Amino acid sequence: MKIRELRLQHFGKFTDRSIQIGDGINILYGENESGKSTLHTFIKGMFFGMERGRGRASVYDTFSVYEPWENPNYYAGSLRFESGGKMFRIDRNFDRYTKKAELICEDDGEKLSVEDGDLEMVIGGLNSGNYENTISIGQLKVETGKPLAAEFKNYATNYYATGNSEMNLSKALGHLKEKKQQLEREVKDSMLRRQVQRERMEQEASYVWRDVHRLEEEYVRITEEVRHRREKDLAEGQENTENKRMIDELRPDKWRIHPVEIIVFIGVIILAFIMIAKPWNYLVAIILFLICGIYVWNRMKVGKQQEKTPPEIILEEITPEEEKIPREKLLWEQAHVKEELREKQTQYSNLKEQLEELDEISGDYREYDRRRSALVMAMDKLNELSADMQRQLEERLNGRTSEILADVTGGRYTKMLIEEGLHVSVLKDGRRIPAENLSRGTVEQMYFALRMAASELLYEEEYPVILDDTFAYYDDVRLANTLRWLGEHRKQVLLFTCQKREEQQLKELGISFQKVNVNVSVH
């Protein structure tokens, strides 16, 4: 990719300014506060946009700092660039009210969508974080940030595992982790449902067991009552038979009343009439006569009554309490309770079997466990692969960074080590020297070499190198070595500077360049 033109319609201190960018090294010269950093920010803003901060942060954010000095309501620009053999133009309006972005292919007039990711696709997947940690170096910002370390970890696994860097390791691991969490939620929900089902069945079994216990007691009571009633009926029947036999022996069947009874009644009346004083003897005799007459009359009527059946005789002998619960009803209740008891016992047995089945490990849970094990294994394998590939990439990165550092330092340092978190050090005479013990100029050359090596390894397409007063701490020899390396290894370099020594060094080295004066008068 190459940048061809910057059109700052209204951006910072620039109004209707167009800057052409050529191949090779482009020196964008300007004095302090002339607008170099504004141009640097403009390039990033055109590719990746600018978001305004909120609250107090909005006062000093990038959006507010670079609002147009004149006509702030019109905040816009364009950038033309070449990518994949085609020319593209991106137009942005940064205004807070009418913010928009358009991407157009100038070769065929096709309009692409920035919101749908077409711009990122056209520039090869370059994002804002990688841009600032590789090809773009701001003032006093040569050290790389944490995003580059994460990007290397992603790139290592993706490239070596799939042969390309399009797959995202973090997203893959995040997807697996999400699947694992989803599966664990399913298992938890399943266990919760089983627990609720178990508690419901245990409660139902408890109710059924109480019914069984109650029915057993009821059955025993009714059975005992039936047995007692049967024994009582047999005893009463036998007693009635014996009494009737004794009366029959005293009173022959052919007599309705015995003659002896009549003689006794007459004797009692006469005796009362003689013994009791007058006139009460008449009254007592009459009363006794009436009583004896009633008895004789009843006895005479008994013979006229129809013969009663045995059930009728039994019913006459049943007490009122016993009449409420006849034997037949007791027998019916006994049979009914027995049948209900059998049903409840069967229901309780079925509930116990279902509870035992719930205690067993179900096929669904075994399937959950198998899938979870597979996800954990996949995550472990990805992490192992990432670690292994990371080591291989570190070797490549260390090798390429060391080559670049050797070129820009004139062979003074030939071995550079990049450790966890992209902490850097060098090997000199067999001794490891951390960056903290080296000069500022050497440290900046080390990170410059790291950035250039990283851009070569991470990106298939070569991007422009954008440097904003990057060489302030370089001496003349190291500056010459770095400019020579850029001229030999980079197709396009944008060098923002307020010094003239870069121009002088390039002339002395015989390296062609294009110079643009970006000075803008300060109002």
Using DSSP bridges, classify how beta strands 24-29 and 86-93 pair: parallel, antiparallel or unpaired: unpaired
Q: What is the mean pLDDT of the chain?
A: 79
Confidence of residue 490 (pLDDT cuts 50, 70, 90): very high
Mean pLDDT of 498-505: 90
Q: What is the pLDDT of residue 152?
A: 52
Has residue 515 got a pLDDT over 50?
yes
Omega before residue 279 within 30° of 0, cis: yes
Residues in a beta bridge with 468: 496
Token digits of residue 514:
């294009």
Q: What is the pLDDT of residue 144?
A: 59
Has residue 272 got a pLDDT over 80?
no
Q: What is the pLDDT of residues 348-361, one digit of tens each?
A: 888 888 887 776 65
Percent of the chain with pLDDT over 70: 78
Least confident of 26-30, 373-377, 462-466, 469-473: 373-377
Is the Cβ–Cβ distance between 79 and 10 less than 8 Å?
Answer: no
Backbone angles phi, psi at 406, to 5 degrees: -65, -40
pTM higher than 0.85 for the full model?
Answer: no
Q: What is the pLDDT of residues 193-241, one digit of tens each?
A: 878 888 888 888 898 899 889 888 888 888 888 888 788 777 766 666 6
Mean pLDDT of 375-391: 72
Q: How many CA atoms lie within 13 A of 504 on its CB side?
A: 7
Residue bearing tokens 């627990």: 195
Residue bearing tokens 């157009």: 104
**More confident of the two residues 193 and 155:** 193
Q: What is the pLDDT of residue 522?
A: 42
Confidence of residue 402 (pLDDT cuts 50, 70, 90): very high
Has residue 443 got a pLDDT over 70?
yes
Domain 1-126+460-523 belongs in CATH node 3.40.50.10860 = no
Q: Is 469 left (phi over 0), alpha (psi -120 to 50) or beta?
A: left
Is the Cβ–Cβ distance between 263 and 257 less than 8 Å?
Answer: no
Confidence of residue 489 (pLDDT cuts 50, 70, 90): very high
DSSP state of 72: T
CA 40 to chain centre: 43
Q: What is the pLDDT of residue 102?
A: 92
Has residue 90 got a pLDDT over 90?
yes
Has residue 303 got a pLDDT over 60?
no
Backbone angles phi, psi at 28, to 5 degrees: -105, 95
Confidence of residue 2 (pLDDT cuts 50, 70, 90): very high
Has residue 273 got a pLDDT over 90?
no
Residue type, 125: G
Percent of the chain with pLDDT over 90: 18
Pick the most confident of 149-153, 304-308, 342-346: 342-346
- CA distances to 72, 86, 88, 211, 392 from 518, rounded to whole Å, are 21, 27, 24, 98, 44
| Distance from C-alpha of 315 to C-alpha of 326, rounded to nearest angstrom | 10
